[in-house]
Amino acid sequence: MLIKSFLDYLEHERNYSERTVTEYRTDLGQFQDFFHEEDETLEWETIDADVVRRWIIRLMDGGYTATSVNRKLSALRSFYKHLLWREVVKVNPMAKIQGPKMEKPLPYFVKETDMDRLLDETDFGEGFEACRDKVIIETFYATGVRLSELVGMNDRDVDFTTNRLKVTGKRNKQRYVPFGEELRRSLLEYVDMRNCQFCPRLTDALFVSDKGGRISKAKVGKLVKKSLSKVVSMKKRSPHVLRHSFATSMLNNHAELNVVKELLGHASLAATQIYTHTTFEELKEVYKLAHPRA
């Protein structure tokens, strides 16, 4: 009766959708079956947090994802809030319950071999636009900058003497990112070609459109997608994929996590640690060499 009363409340007073009400009915019924199986004397009024925790374990062992488990716990939380409001229970067993952590999806990235094929073997064509498109790809991959950071760069942000970029990131926080001789040569070639193409200059922007103004985010997104399509078939082919590729390559080539954090402009290490998944292959190789039973 308690479940039916709650569902009627959701449907008629809170105007919840039929689908949501059905899901809540299933989730609450599933939990009720569980605690009656554990102890047939248990009722909604006598449930404690330990019973809920055991249910979470049962669900996870049964193959439910963290997303599904948290959805079921959400139904249970709403139900107990309702019971408290009706003064059916005096203590909410859900008060100290934390659901399983949601798994973050691994970032898309392009393998180093595929990036080498793109930059060393792919024909980008001739002329200013072809040169610009290739150097934009190089800049993303060599520095790990964000799309907004690249589009916002001006000529004065590039120091060819020390080989570093001044990058303005989120909340206008500035950082310096080094680059190598290969990108230096590409940038100088591009700048010479651009200055010949557009004289006088229409903007201080480093990267410009085919009409000479600051290049747009949409244009950069399209050219990156087109370029990456030449070497990979994965669904996501965006500038952020190149940022992921930069970070992954750095870590796979023994860069310290703290260093990569600074280069990417992350506020904390937690944001950078999503890239460490690719170093597992390296760990396996070390394990094979070091462990006597590997």
List residues with catalytic annotation: 146, 170, 240, 243, 266, 275
Using CA atoms, how far apart are residues 88 and 83, in angstroms rounded to an integer? 5
In sequence order, the 6+-apart residues with CB closer than 8 A to the CB of 1 are none
Cβ atoms within 10 Å, residue 34: 16
Q: Is the peptide bond before 292 cis (omega within 30 degrees of 0)?
A: no
Cβ atoms within 10 Å, residue 128: 15
Consecutive H or E run containing 167? strand 164-168
- Of the candidates 166, 116, 167, the one whose C-alpha atom is nearest the C-alpha of residue 146 is 167
Distance of CA 24 to the CA centre of its chain: 30
CA angle 132/118/137 to nearest 5° reads 35
Taking phi first (over 0 means left), then psi (-120 to 50 degrees means alpha), and beta for anything else, what does residue 234 get?
Answer: beta
Give whole-number Cα distances, 162 to 61, 140, 154, 186, 250, in Å.
Answer: 56, 19, 17, 16, 20
Residues linked to residue 167 through DSSP beta bridges, in sequence order: 175
Distance of CA 213 to the CA centre of its chain: 31
Residue 212 C-beta-side C-alpha neighbours within 13 Å: 9
Q: In what order do the strands lie in the sheet with 164-168?
A: 158-159, 164-168, 174-178
CA angle 141/147/153 to nearest 5° reads 90
